[in-house]
Amino acid sequence: MAATFYKYIILGGGVAAGYAAREFASLGVLPGELAIISKEAVAPYERPALSKAYLFPEGAARLPGFHTCVGSGGERLLPDWYAEKGVELILSTEIVKVDLAEKTLASSFGGIFKYGTLIIATGATFIKLSDFGVQGADAKGIYYLREIDDADSLVEAIRAKPGGKAVIVGGGYIGLELAADLIINKLDVTMVYPEPWCMPRLFTSEIAAFYEGYYQNKGVKIVKGTVATGFESDASGNVNLVKLKDGRELPADIVVVGVGARPLVSLFKGQVEEEKGGIKVDAFFQTSVPGVYAVGDVATFPMKIFNDKRRVEHVDHARKSAIQAVQHIKATEKGTSVAEYDYLPFFYSRSFDLSWQFYGDNVGDSVVFGQTDPSVPKAKFGAYWIKDDKIVGAFLENGSPEENKAIAKVARVQPPVTSKEALLASGLEFASKI
């Protein structure tokens, strides 16, 4: 079969792909030069919506409402936008073989695509419980969430089991956001996770205590310090019981699993350098192979502010890394340059009427300030992380846009801290004065 050539191909049609396409269009791309190849059936969209408004019982978000690039306040790129710009959207097309030396991509349908420049934006996928041999984990009624098709299956299951029992396996981002969604949908929700508190990747025990208390007040039951070791199903193969390592058993009509993600790098194994589980890139998102870039969840990049190499699985970086790569591609063509990527990590989450933001790094000692009683309506509290006598990270629940800007600034500026007691007493005011 003859290969179809594009000057630029973006492999993957998620968040990074949408922002890259917009940047190409703004810097100038001719009709027919750029293609996005995605196994999803829809144009790039803001993935965070899937674990939030997409699952609301009323007024739920639906496409085309959350195509990129609305998530950062930009123009919404509808499928027509790609057609108008001459950007080829090759959807429902999974690439199953990549030859970086030959510059070819082969699809599961046998189509061959050739490129001048490739941007790898394949993102990540969920880790499955069957990956670590949990017995019965392939039963019907056990759900994972990454793509819009997964969210549609979950919506169907929620509607089919009004008032049913839901077990959430995992106490990270998916666990916390989905527990809230399912309670709002009036299911009876139990969360199970192995750690002593939720979101241990980021939260201190004190921060976690607020969210756990808040969730419990909303009716979520929490089982900590154990894992799901098996599932039982009824005669039709639908899950009906979750067995825990500590011997307890939880009846379940629906199970939602969020036990982490793994970057989709296997197509490129042995062809490109990897580091820390991702594709190794420089400050312009160039991989070890000339003309091949990697952005978003798959890229391990130099985190200049911490003099470290990191992979980040959050939307702000997906957007910004895509923009940086495209700016570098276009600058290189013109013989000019762009500044190195100098990223300040930014993570956020929303559930119920809660909303937090975090900037920087959660290492060293922490100081938690403000109102941490979960029964107080609209409680506002925050935290600073201090390493080598400097603030390196900042967290705020229920911040205003100005307050969130202030904590971002404090994490970027890294002011010195002489007294933790004084920092605690000054709280948010410390950030506001920077």
Burial-class residue 31 by CB neighbours within 10 Å (0-12, 13-18, 19+). exposed
Given ligand NAD, ligand FDA, none, residue 193, with its beta carbon under 5 to 8 Å by kind, binds ligand NAD
Q: How far apart are CA 105 and CA 355, in angstroms?
A: 41
Among 33, 35, 39, 344, binds ligand FDA (CB under 6 A): 39
- CA-CA distance, 88 to 280, in Å (whole number)? 28
Question: Closest by alpha carbon to 393, among 403, 405, 384?
Answer: 384
Tokens for 115?
A: 């490129």
**Residue 47 site contact among ligand NAD, ligand FDA, none (CB < 5 to 8 Å, cut-off depends on kind):** ligand FDA
Q: Is 225 helix (H, G, I), strand (E, B) or coil?
A: coil
Of positions 228, 303, 391, 428, contacts ligand NAD by CB under 6 A: 228
- Compute the least distance from the CB of residue 288 to ligand FDA, in Å: 19
Residue 15 touches which member of ligand NAD, ligand FDA, none, C-beta under 5-8 Å by kind? ligand FDA
Question: Position 39: which residue type?
Answer: K
User: Please, are residues 143 and 254 in contact by the beta-carbon 8 Å criterion?
Assistant: yes
Identify residue 108 by its one-letter amino acid code. Answer: S
Q: Please report whether residue 263 would count as binding ligand NAD according to CB under 6 A.
A: no
Quick one: which of 64, 42, 39, 62 has its CA closest to 52? 62
Interacting residues with ligand FDA between 246 and 285 (CB under 6 A): 264, 267
Contact of 257 with 280, CB cutoff 8 Å: no
Examine residue 53 and tell whether it contacts ligand NAD (CB under 6 A): no
Stretch that binds ligand FDA, among 47-55, 109-117, 331-339, 378-386 (CB under 6 A): 47-55
Q: Does 145 bind ligand FDA (CB under 6 A)?
A: yes
Only one of the segments 58-66, 187-195, 372-380, 399-407 lies at the binding site for ligand NAD (rule: CB under 6 A); that segment is 187-195
- Using an 8 Å Cβ cutoff, are 190 and 279 in contact? no
- Phi, psi (5° rounding) for residue 262? -130, 135
Residues found near ligand NAD in the complex (CB under 6 A):
51, 124, 169-175, 177, 192-195, 200-201, 227-228, 258-261, 313-314, 347, 349
Residues found near ligand FDA in the complex (CB under 6 A):
12-17, 37-40, 47-48, 50-51, 94-95, 121-124, 145-147, 264, 267, 296-297, 313-316, 318, 347-349
